[in-house]
Amino acid sequence: MTKEPSIAQKKIGDFAPKLVELTDDVLFGDIWERPGLSKRDRSLITVATLIALYRTNELPFHLGRALENGVTKDELIELITHLAFYAGWPSSMTAIMIAKDIFAKAE
């Protein structure tokens, strides 16, 4: 049985194989699997960080992953609203529009 290629493998595997290896094996294979935090908590932390740093390219994937990891839409909306005062209004307004799109696709 052949393992399906990861998202990173599909997008850049032929261009940056080492970066794909690190993404798949270290980031998602090790860091995300450590027992010290739940995947749900890791998702909340990751989404908050991506919003605060205005990393809009990575945010859609991690919003979807957060939903898969048990974070609710209402919790994500509350997180984004809360961050408006700590990460900046433009970051939260952009994030909420991305979230709205991701939530619509998830229904």
| Residues 51-82 pLDDT 10s | 999 999 999 999 999 999 999 999 999 999 99
What is the model's pLDDT at position 2? 64
Q: Which of 74, 70, 80 is nearest to 40 (CA)?
A: 70
- Average confidence (pLDDT) over 15-44: 97
The residues, any chain, with a CB within 8 Å of residue 63's CB and separated by 6 or more, are 47, 76, 98, 99, 102
Tokens 């010290």 belong to residue: 36
Q: Is 2 part of a structural domain of the chain?
A: no
65, 97: one domain? yes
- Whole-number Å distance between alpha carbons of 105 and 42: 22
**Domain span including residue 45:** 38-107
Same domain, 57 and 46: yes
